Structure 1
């Protein structure tokens, strides 16, 4: 009995980049929608929540990972 080859689980770099770009686009759209709905307080809260994330990103860039 022969088996069909298993589907490849590896993802190409292009699909990873596409996924990241789609996530960024979704985040920007959600920020725009929240700002349109609730105004500047929503934008300020989102910016405040992004501070630790950007701090971690800058540390990872500095370390070289």
Structure 2
């Protein structure tokens, strides 16, 4: 019996794990503390839905940044 390895869950993590005290968002990926905590228990569609919101969320939270992509 062969077991296939489970695919690694999608993650927007950029290894810049700093939670902003004002916005409550991770400065690297844009997720909230709650989203980060729940990430491992989310389904892949749920993770992808959150990830789809992150670029705009980061643009709004940090409008001074230019040319950066999460």
TM-score range, shorter chain: 0.3 to 0.5
Q: TM-score, normalised by structure 1?
A: 0.37
TM-score with structure 2 setting the length: 0.35
Of structures 1 and 2, the one scoring higher in RCO (CA 8 A, sep 6+) is 2
